[in-house]
């Protein structure tokens, strides 16, 4: 990916839209197969990491739907908490979620828990529109995850999650970008200590 010039469109924006379109074009059967494989890989990674509070995102624009995988993780033992991001004046925080949680429309009309019960995840499942071999991800350009990760202490473990079609050679990371600890696709852990 080459840097933008005054006469050319932003290459990150062009890449983002191209890969979102490709993701949304996946047929139902392939999406289900990929999602099931991702859920298996995440289950093994979560078992090794043993987090108490897992943050994840409601599926948006064809992203991997992690709701069933997170619900299965929740059911796997006592004391586990799942949470969804809520965008607020400070940037972003996470609110506790369970499969029976009443939801309401949040920013960008993405569902958020109607009752805001703030929790701090110790592991985040972060959607990726694109990723490279160094663990950098391309989100939607708002910087919510990067700004939040920069201020959270201790910083949660980060696991980028997406389909393998999101892999690119080099995202040309910017100064504020924070790489993921792992990235998981239907092909397994493709970035991280055991990749």
**pLDDT recorded at residue 195:** 63
Q: How far apart are CA 88 and CA 90, in angstroms?
A: 5
Note whether 191 and 131 are within 8 A (CB).
yes
Note whether 164 and 190 are within 8 A (CB).
yes
Around 70, how many Cα atoms within 13 Å sit in the side-chain half-sphere? 26
**161: helix, strand or coil:** strand
**pLDDT recorded at residue 88:** 79
**pLDDT recorded at residue 5:** 52
**pLDDT recorded at residue 91:** 79
**pLDDT recorded at residue 146:** 86
- Residue 174's CB is within 10 A of a number of other CB atoms, namely 10
Q: Tell whether pTM > 0.85.
A: yes
Q: How far apart are CA 71 and CA 28, in angstroms?
A: 21
Domain positions in the chain: 11-191
**pLDDT recorded at residue 133:** 95
CA distances to 40, 62, 71, 95, 103 from 20, in Å: 23, 7, 25, 26, 25
**pLDDT recorded at residue 175:** 85
Note whether 163 and 48 are within 8 A (CB).
no
Q: How far apart are CA 156 and CA 138, in angstroms?
A: 19
The topology (CATH level 3) of 11-191 is Rossmann fold (3.40.50)
**pLDDT recorded at residue 49:** 96
The tens-digit pLDDT sequence of the chain (195 residues) is 555 555 667 889 999 999 999 999 999 999 999 999 999 999 999 999 999 999 999 999 999 999 999 999 999 999 999 999 998 777 799 999 999 999 999 988 999 999 999 999 999 999 999 999 999 999 998 888 888 888 888 999 999 999 999 999 999 888 888 999 999 999 999 998 866
**pLDDT recorded at residue 172:** 87
CA distances to 10, 100, 167, 190 from 135, in Å: 21, 33, 10, 9
């Amino acid at each position: 990916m080459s840097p933008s010039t005054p006469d050319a469109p932003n290459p990150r924006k062009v890449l983002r839209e191209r890969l979102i379109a490709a993701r949304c074009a996946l047929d139902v059967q392939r999406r289900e197969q990929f999602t099931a494989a991702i859920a298996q890989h995440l289950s093994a990674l979560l078992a090794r990491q043993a987090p108490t509070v897992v943050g994840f995102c409601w599926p948006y624009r064809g992203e991997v739907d992690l709701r069933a995988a997170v619900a299965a993780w929740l059911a796997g033992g006592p004391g586990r908490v799942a949470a969804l991001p809520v965008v607020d004046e400070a940037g972003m925080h996470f609110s506790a979620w369970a499969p029976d949680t009443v939801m309401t429309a949040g920013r960008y009309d993405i569902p958020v828990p109607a009752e805001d019960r703030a929790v701090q995840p110790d592991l985040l499942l972060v959607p990726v529109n694109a990723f490279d071999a160094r663990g950098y991800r391309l989100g939607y350009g708002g910087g919510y995850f990067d700004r939040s990760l920069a201020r959270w202490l201790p910083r949660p473990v980060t696991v980028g999650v997406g389909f393998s079609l999101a892999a690119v050679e080099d995202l040309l990371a910017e100064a504020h970008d924070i790489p993921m600890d792992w990235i998981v696709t239907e092909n397994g852990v493709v970035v991280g200590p055991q990749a």
